Structure 1
Amino acid sequence: MIPIIKPDAEAKLSEFTGAEAYIHSEATSYVFVRNFKVRVTEAFVAGEGPYRVALRFDGHGWLRMEAITHYEMDEHGRLLLAGYDDSGRMNVALHLGKEPFPE
């Protein structure tokens, strides 16, 4: 993963807008969601770093993750976003894919 380059991360995120996507999301030990299928209607990257990433689903609901610091597009076309603390520990993750994530 590399540190967020906002315009590049926004462009990669926009590839999922208007399409069905599978979501994997987690925040430390408090939240874990895997293979949540939605139609992404809007996607945003906000802030100056760490960043906030927000996804609107089917025009009805939102998922917003805060403290995102890194990203990459993997070899399967999945967008992997994560937030790391000053010690290098991952605090949050938001992954989007066109196919379900492995169980």
Structure 2
Amino acid sequence: MKILKRVLGVVLALFVAAMFLFPLLWVVLASFKTKLELLAVPPVFIFQPTLQNYINAFNSDFPMQVRNSLIIAISSTVISIILGSLTAYGFSR
């Protein structure tokens, strides 16, 4: 009975891990596909990898877009920490 529980636990953990990791794998693989391969129905699983998407990204305004994203992320984090601290202080009193 103990072995069965352990095996079921491992199988469940592997299933949950696969459910979380599959979308990440899908996005990484999609980044190496051409636009036609990416939009193909049914999906193309065997394809010729290309780095053209990365070349296009780094030749565009990528640094400015990263800077803008960092500004938004850092400012929203700071605001959340400040408001959370004030709220926590209010709840503690």
* TM-score bracket relative to the smaller structure: under 0.3
TM-score by length of 1: 0.20
Whichever structure has more helix as a proportion of its residues is 2
TM-score by length of 2: 0.21
- Name the larger-Rg structure: 2
Whichever structure has more strand as a proportion of its residues is 1
Greater RCO, 1 or 2 (C-alpha within 8 Å, sep 6+):
1
